A and B are shown apart, each in its own frame.
Chain A
Amino acid sequence: MARKLLLKDIDVPGIRSFDVYRKQGGYASVEKALKTMTPDQVIDEVKKSGLRGRGGAGFPTGMKWSFLDRRSDKPRYLICNADESEPGTFKDRYLMEYIPHSLIEGMIVSSYALGAKTSYIYMRGEFRWIFPILEQAIEEARAAGFLGNNILGTGYSLELYVHPGAGAYICGEETAQIESLEGKRGNPRNKPPFPAVVGLYGCPSVVNNVESIAAVPHILTMGGDEYSKIGVGKSTGTKLISASGHINKPGVYEIELGLPVEEFIYSDEYCGGIWKGRKMKAVIAGGSSVPILPANLILKTAKGEPRLMSYESLADGGFQTGTMLGSGGFIVMDETTCIVRNLWTFARFYHHESCGQCSPCREGTGWMEKVLHRLEHGHGHMHDIDLLVNVAKNIEGNTICPLGDAAAWPVASAIRHFREEFEYHVKHPEKVKDRKHFEKEPFVSEKKLTVAETV
C-alpha cells in the first residue's frame, strides 16, 4: 500500500466530527505552529516541502506565499479556492465532505503563516450540502478554542468564513473569485497587479486550492524535508486523483506522485483496468482543460520512457506529445468513445461558462461549440477541422484569464491526435447521426488498415 496522508483516516467512523478527528492526531499542527514556530518558519517548511499548487497550474505554494506583500500595513487575506468545477475533477468535494476538519486545520496554520486575521473559503454554489458540514466544523473548532480570539492562548486570532458562490466556473479563477467575494460580477481582473499585492478589497491576498491547504498540516507535523522525500523530483508529496470514465473502479485515490500511469490505470489498488474488458482509447490526465492523449502516448512518452503521474513526466514532450497533471481529473475513455462528441461536450461547457468579458473567449468558445456540434451531427465539412485549429490558436494566449486557454487546448490536442476521427465524421454523415455510433461500430483507423494490408 502506498503512503497516504490526506485520506489516511477516511475509513475511521465519525471522522467528520471534531472529537474523532482530534483523537486521530488532528489539530496537532496548529498547536505546533502557533506555540513553537514563527510565521516565517512555517513558510520555510512549506517551501522546503516543495508543495505545488494542487488546483491545476502547479505553482509552488511556498513561493506564492513569499510573494505576498508584507510591507503594506493593510490587512492580509487567505482565500481557499473551493470552487472546484472542472469537468472530471471532484477531489476537493470529497475532502470537504468527509474530512472537513483537515481543511479547517490547514486554513488555521496557513492563515497564521501569512498573518491573515480573516480568511474565506469560497465554495462552489452547487456544493450546497457541504456548506452546513463546513459551518459545523468551524463551530466545533471554535468551541474547542482553535478559532476566534486568542487561539490556544497564543494571542493569534482568526475568523474563518465559508462563502458559497452562485455557480460559475469562472469564479475558480483567482481574480474572478476575489471580485465575486467582494460582491461584484465574477469577471477576472487584468493582471498585473497580482492578488499578492492588490487582492481582496485592494489588500494583499493569497488564493490556494483546498488540497494545497489541506496538505500544509501534514507538512508541518512531519517536517518539510520529510515531505519532500515523498514523490519524484520536483513533484513532491501525495496527490488526490479523481478517476472517472470507463474504468472498473472510479473514485478519488490518493497517490504518491511518481506512480507509473500504467500501474494507476491497471492495478487493482487504483482504477482496476478498463471496464468490460475493452481497450483504452484516450486519457485526459488532469481535468477537461488539459490536452487529451491517445493510449500509446499516455503510457509511454514519445521517447519511449514509461510515463509517471508527476508534473514533469506528464508534461514531457510539451503540447505535441504531452499533457499536464492539472487538477488531477483523470478521465479514461475506452474504444467506443467518440472523441468528437466528447470534445463537443467540453466545448459546450466552456461556451456556457465564459464570462463574456474579452472578445476572443466570448465569441470563440461559442463558435467552436457550433462547429463541433455540426461535425458531430454529420453536417460538417473538411475545412471545418482546420477552422477549429485556427480559432483555437486565435483564442489561446490572447485572453484575460486562462479560461480561453482551457477552452482552446482540448480542441487543438484532440485534432492533433485524432484528426482521422474528425475526418470520419465528415466522410460518413449517415453513420454518425446515431449518437451511439462508435458503440455499435468502434472507430478503426484507415491508415492502420492499409498498413496491415500491405504487411
Chain B
Amino acid sequence: MTAVSKQPISLQVNGRATDAWVSPNLSLLELLRVEAGAPEVKLGCGEGVCGTCTVLLDGEPVNACLMFAVQANGCEVTTVRGLAPDGELHLLQQAFLDHAGAQCGFCTPGMILTSKWYLDRHPDADREELRRALAGNLCRCTGYTKILDAVEAYRDVCRREHDGD
C-alpha cells in the first residue's frame, strides 16, 4: 500500500464555507455527516441505488455515497436543511407534512431534494413524469402514493403563486 497523504479541500455546504483535510477515500457523505455537521444526509445502500444520500452538487442531484469528498472540492453542496435555512419549513417540506408523505423519515431528505430539483426545471411535470424522476428514490413506508400527492400539491402551490404574479 502506498503512503497516501491527506488533502485540503474547501466547499460550500448550505452556503457556509467548509474547509477540511481529508483522505482521498473519504466519501462526500462521510464528510457531510462527520466534518460538516450535516447528519441529515443519510447512508442507505451505499451503492447509488436508494437515493437516501441525495444532495445537490452545484444544483444537481448526486449520490453523496458515490463521490469522494476530494471530487467535490470547490463545489456548492445543498442538503435538505439548506431548503429551510432559518428553520422555517420550505413549502415542499410543509406539503410532505400535510399529505403524510413522510413516515419513518429516512428517505425524506432525498425525496424532497430530488422533487425540488425536478420541479424547478419542469414546473409543469405531471404525476407520471414525477414518478419517473423519483424512480431512483426508494421508500419502504409510504407506498409512494402520499409522496406523489405531496409533490403534486407543492407543484400546484407554485403554479398558483406563479399565475398570481
Q: Do A and B bind each other?
A: no
